[in-house]
Structure 1
Amino acid sequence: MIERRPALTVLSHLVLVLGVLIVAFPIYLTFIASTHTAQDIVQAPMPLWPGSHGLENYWAALTGTGEGGGSNAPVGRMMLVSLVCALVITVGKISISLLSAFAVVYFRFPLRGLCFWAIFVTLMLPVEVRIGPTYQVVADLGLLNSYAGLTVPLIASATATFLFRQFFLTVPDELVEASRIDGAGPMRFFIDTLVPLSATSIAALFVIQFIYGWNQYLWPLLATTSEDMYPVVIGIKRMIAGGDAAVGWNLVMATAILAMLPPALVVILMQKWFVKGLVDTEK
């Protein structure tokens, strides 16, 4: 039986509260800055309480009507681009990974093991390593400043393929035999049996891949030159002007808060499925 010690309980809670404060304080400052004017923010000391310009700043950021030396592209359009890219990357990664893992596990063909390990080895080749050739191919195909150019090079996932393969290997052979007896073909078995069994894993990967797609920075930085196709992460960078130009830090901070909302909502709404997909062993 575990002995309860009040002193350790208090100490553990103090450590947790301190950790939360350390993580949350920059977010709090960002929110506070988004409710003041740019002149108030650059004053020393910066205000630590909400101002009266919050709605005005958020509306100016969403519509692109603010002032500043950097880009004034509408943040609403940027968030739409980020949302479309994140969803396409997420759905594409999960779909391709499901099908590739299904083929590797349930089909017998020459060099099957080599094909799987060729997919797995791509984990050692991140986007940064192959970004030059990838950019050349995308440019030659005329896909710059397009949704296809932003998503197709990022749509495959060796990690998800590996996870689905490991799960499919745990599916009892009796299910395969039962499906054959019932007259189900390979795709019917895949759709009616494997996909429902993989629901929690799919949910967990959806959260991870959505955040991955939403937070992409390096590839969109190269693949977009038009303000109409800026994802919100790139938009924040473009809003910060260089040199002596004035920066509308209130609008930058408002954009940063808006950029944090969709990933946070996805994590909050799918937290139960996310945790279950990572720890559930009775699948």
Structure 2
Amino acid sequence: MIENRPWLTLVSHLSLLFGIALVALPVWVALVASTHPTEAFGSGQIPLWFGDQLSENWGQVLFSSAGNGIDVPVWLMMLNSLIMALGITIGKIAISIISAYAIVFFRFPLRGLAFWVIFITLMLPVEVRIVPTYEVVANLELLNSYSGLVLPLIASATATFLFRQCFMTVPGELVEAARIDGAGPIRFFFDILLPLSRTNIAALFVIMFIYGWNQYLWPLIVTTDDAYYTLVMSIKRMLSVEQGDVQWNQVMVTTLLAMLPPVAVVVGMQKLFVKGLVDAEK
């Protein structure tokens, strides 16, 4: 029997409210700061209530140059970040699901070794292989291009492992029934495996989208043209000014805009995301 302890319920709710306040306070400060003129931050004090520059600051950042040597508006950098994030996400999911399908359902020599070679690459993040990867991209003349931003990051051992675990739960009787019904490998993949993997794909989509959207090091290295700058890169550059003359209102607008797409993806796919993570543990 579960005891009813009002004090414990009160402590739980207070802890939850404290956690929400701790997370929401920086967002509130950024939102408030985006409505004030630059002079409001000269004294070193952060205003905690809205100003009267909301439309001016947001309009300037979105449709004019971002400043500090960046000659393109933020909406273009948001588009670049979106193209990069979607390209990485779709590429990772497509390659990983095909790789897992081949490893689980096809019989070929050194199948197990192939999987472990893929899995070992988890120990080699982008930062470790950054120099050879950059050399390959430079030799292929993919610098300052969407292909150079996306292609080196589309392989994923994590997604391959999760899809492999999902496919290994498919009953052998289902495979035999599909084969008896005349379903070939392609039809079996599209008509049976893809619908069964819907929640896993949704969970990986959320994770990989956030991963691609928040990329900083790789875009910083392969792009020198402002037209291919991403939003996360621009925030760092807007902070790198001489004599500390940072346009904090513009920085906060850019920061809030950088938060919106990942938050929208998480909120919009929350149910499928949670269900996909639960299914992946089975």
Distance apart, 1:224 and its partner CA: 0.7
Contact 1:72 1:239 in 2 (8 A): no
Shift in alpha-carbon separation, 1:230–1:69, aligned structure 2, 3 A: closer
Match of 1:255 in 2: 254
Query: How many angstroms does 1:41 deviate by?
Result: 2.1
Which residue of the partner structure matches residue 163 of structure 2?
Answer: 164
Aligned residue for 2:211?
212
Cα deviation digits, residues 166-198 of structure 1 (max 9, x gap): 111110011111111111110110110001000
Name the SS for the 2:47 alignment partner.
Answer: coil
Matches within 5 A, 1:50-61: 50-61=50-61
The residue aligned with 1:131 is 130
- Residues of 2 paired with 1:234 and 1:262: CA distance? 16
Aligned-partner residue type, residue 51 of structure 1:
G
5 Å matches for 1:54-93?
A: 54-65=54-65, 68-93=67-92
> Which consecutive aligned stretches of 4+ in structure 1 deviate over 3 angstroms post-superposition?
280-283
The question of whether the paired residues in 1 share the 8 Å contact of 2:63 and 2:75 is answered with yes
Matched ranges for 1:107-146 at <5 A: 107-146=106-145
Query: What residue ranges of structure 2 are gaps of 5+ in the alignment?
Result: none
Are residues 1:221 and 2:229 paired? Answer: no
Structure 1 residue 241: Cα displacement:
3.2
Aligned to 1:19: 19
Alignment of 1:171-210 (within 5 A): 171-210=170-209
How much is the aligned-residue C-alpha RMSD, in angstroms? Answer: 1.5
Alignment check: 8 A CA contact 1:69 1:245 kept? no
Asked if 1 retains the 8 angstrom alpha-carbon contact of 2:162 and 2:280, the reply is no
Kindly provide the CA deviation profile for residues 42-78 of structure 1, in whole angstroms up to 9, marking residues without a partner as x: 3242211011101111111111246x54434200000
Residue 244 of structure 1 aligns to a residue whose secondary structure is helix
The answer (yes or no) to whether the contact 1:207–1:274 under 8 Å persists in 2 is: yes
Residues 236-259 of structure 1: CA deviation (Å, up to 9, x unaligned): 112223322632111111000011
- Contact residue 70 and residue 241 of structure 1 kept, 8 A: no
Deviation at 1:281, TM superposition (A): 7.2
TM norm structure 2: 0.96
| Whole-angstrom CA distance in 1 between matches of 2:240 and 2:64 | 15
Unmatched segments (≥5 aa) in structure 1 = none
Give the Cα separation in 2 of the matches to 1:112 and 1:45.
62
Alpha-carbon distance between aligned partners in 1 of 2:53 and 2:109, rounded to the nearest angstrom: 66
Kindly tell me: are residues 70 and 239 of structure 1, through their superposed partners in 2, closer, same or farther at Cα, counting changes over 3 Å?
farther
For 1:130 and 1:172, how far apart are their aligned partners in 2?
39
Which whole-Å CA distance do the structure 2 matches of 1:12 and 1:251 have between them? 38
Deviations 1:92-138 (CA, angstroms, capped at 9, x unpaired): 10011100000000111111000000000000000000001000110
Question: Is it true that 1:5 corresponds to 2:24 in the alignment?
Answer: no
**Aligned-pair identity (%):** 62
Task: Provide the C-alpha distance between the structure 2 equivalents of 1:273 and 1:265, rounded to a whole number of angstroms.
Answer: 14
Measured against aligned partners, the alpha-carbon deviations of 1:194-251 in whole angstroms (never above 9, x if no partner) come to 0100000000000000000000011111011111000100011122233226321111
Q: Output aligned runs, 1:230-241, within 5 Å.
A: 230-241=229-240
Q: For this pair of structures, how many residues does the alignment match? A: 282
Match of 2:99 in 1: 100
Higher relative contact order (CA 8 A, sep 6+): 1
* Structure 2 counterpart of 1:28: 28
Provide the rounded CA distance (Å) in 2 between the counterparts of 1:49 and 1:17: 21
For normalisation by structure 1, the TM-score amounts to 0.96
